[in-house]
Structure 1
């Protein structure tokens, strides 16, 4: 029996999901909607994505919890892709997805033809940067437009004021930025043959470049900006957690977190932080301090606010990620002072675990007394997914993630 499609909840927190584990993390930690891809026509090939059976399962799981599902069908298809498009859209329609996220006008027309009851959301790949384009897209049948990430907050507000109020406005608030306009980049194709639009980007914008003079092969000269070189291609990550009230005042209906290719932990922590940030804004409260701290605990490059406040200082002086914390275990149960953990990364007796639970401020627990599944005292949890008993007076909720700060000097 088909799940009952829930009504939209606006303003909305929209989280990414690359597979079922990440979808469940997004929902557990407070997403109002989740965007994901099937095995075709979506702009991320690195995640495992959802088979037809998994997509139906995901929709059933989400709808039973009042969460909506948006399916990315946002590649720019070639002739060879077109034949399989309508069967794919019918499958997704029958699975019960709430919206198709599309870039291509042919895909939009096919979706309207074979799935008229499914909303059309226009992808950021379309590059909508003005109210005239947004109006035209609405007249063509779109329910929502995901704006180009190059707009300032003032431009977003102007676009909102000059478009039908029935047209929903979605904007990115967190995650990786592309140095090309709304992700329209050919560098990956040029260097590696991997198609960025089909989700296989090699991220050449993160590589280190140098000049080579043609008569001096093998002599590489740095492209200088400072002592370490220039990094004009290497964008910082976006972080708008401190500016949710401004986004809502500008008329943004949906706050989108980037990262379908990232881990379930990233999905959980980012969703948890933005859930609190959005709730604070809606209640008229100042931002809860731990929100900022939480976003520093997930894998990220240096942060910026993108283009929202004018021309950004968005180029970072290194391409590597900041990864100061790692998930070491997931709590399976807690009873009578004993937490049953499933190990994810090595940890040691005496470590301090930083606990992430849905909707709660993070808290810390010392792991001074740990045993293996046979009840034997251990000094370290060394084996993947091993069962560990943690003795603590602090109740830990099932599904909570235990993190440990890395020793960066070791």
Structure 2
């Protein structure tokens, strides 16, 4: 058993209420999300005041915390809206703001003094001197720049107050720009990445033009599909839990507020089990193969360990898309008996299919779909309609809240 290190928090993303519930059901200690303003992701639904209050209540009942992203780089015309936004967040019960801008940092102290202030990765904290200054200004946590290797994190941990928490990303998409500060999207599309509206031009395919050959382009080729010059690999640190803990990381952050509730469930569950296993087993800890395999069941780019070991993520130069081996086909709404479950369909599957189940307890298992029946009692051979409610007979009990997957051919 590990006793000489603090057990890190599992911090999960939520772009909407379904994602929030997935994070809480699969073991998150805290969830980071955005209100309707000042968040670095505009694509998700995000949370209005009523939803934010509900989110805080749900989290607190489970002993979890809510961190609200307030990490855009606001312009002058946005500053007057900070007071109402922060006062409402405090009234809802928010535990922490994640902040990149010093003006916003000072406003939070004034308008929401009961809410902790965390420094966003966008602030680019790369050394203990900056971390100490921010702590002295009132920060309770720094989310380090993603460019920092583990040995420097350990040095920083030794040279900042023990009360200052260190949060680091452990999983998800990497940005080609420093700490996520990017002007390429704004320059090429008019969509401001620093206000949460990134068009992700780093994922696009690029070609070379020669000025005297108008209308002709020349691929800069790695493969026949062209070259994706800036398309970074995804971060995955599931195999390096001991190193992160020993470096002094207080919070393991999973990227993905624009991703699905299924993604949140799988990633939260994997890191929850890995951390719990390490603290239970100590020096004898070995990552269970099924935990690593779970992270292959979500859509992802090629995995990498980022900058943690002194290297860099590198680019996926042959394509701009995702690797996807499994489809999320259903959510179990209710277990009626040991062989009967009420499900809501997400993707098509058939009677007779072998399905992969991830229950709230977190250890996956397989079932066989033996029959499907609609709400009006009609038997069907497949589940073709998204969000359709069906009764499924199978050969093992499927707990309520389970996500059900099917391996792609």
Structure 1 length-normalised TM: 0.95
Instruction: Return the offset for 1:64.
Output: 1.0
Q: Which moved more, 1:278-287 or 1:245-254?
A: 278-287
Partners of 2:308 and 2:189 in 1: CA distance: 32
Partners of 1:313 and 1:203 in 2: CA distance: 17
Q: Which residue of 2 aligns with 1:240?
A: 237
Partners of 2:378 and 2:137 in 1: CA distance: 66
Instruction: Return the offset for 1:87.
Output: 1.1
Change (3 A) 1:299 1:360: same
Q: Which residue of 2 aligns with 1:4?
A: none
* 2:270 counterpart of 1:269: no
Equivalent of residue 349 in structure 1, options 348, 351, 361: 351
Q: Which residue of 2 aligns with 1:6?
A: none
Q: Which moved more, 1:126-135 or 1:274-283?
A: 274-283
- Aligned alpha-carbon RMSD (Å): 1.4
Partners of 1:400 and 1:255 in 2: CA distance: 24
Instruction: Return the offset for 1:342.
Output: 1.5
Instruction: Name the count of aligned residue pairs.
Output: 399
Equivalent of residue 48 in structure 2, options 15, 36, 51: 51
Partners of 2:291 and 2:8 in 1: CA distance: 19
Q: Which residue of 2 aligns with 1:292?
A: 292
Q: Which residue of 2 aligns with 1:332?
A: 333
Instruction: Return the offset for 1:372.
Output: 2.3
Q: Which residue of 1 aligns with 2:405?
A: 403
Partners of 1:22 and 1:14 in 2: CA distance: 13
Q: Which residue of 1 aligns with 2:3?
A: none
Partners of 1:371 and 1:111 in 2: CA distance: 53
Deviations 1:164-207 (A, max 9, x none): 11100000000000011111111100000000011110000011
Q: Which residue of 1 aligns with 2:375?
A: 373
Q: Which residue of 2 aligns with 1:195?
A: 192
Q: Which residue of 1 aligns with 2:30?
A: 33
Q: SS of 1:84's equivalent?
A: helix
Q: Which residue of 2 aligns with 1:148?
A: 145
Structure 2 length-normalised TM: 0.95
Q: SS of 2:182's equivalent?
A: coil
Q: SS of 1:306's equivalent?
A: coil
Query: Which residues in structure 2 correspond to 1:35-184 (within 5 Å)?
Result: 35-184=32-181
Structure 2 unmatched ranges of 5 or more? 1-5
Partners of 2:386 and 2:312 in 1: CA distance: 42
Structure 1 unmatched ranges of 5 or more? 1-8
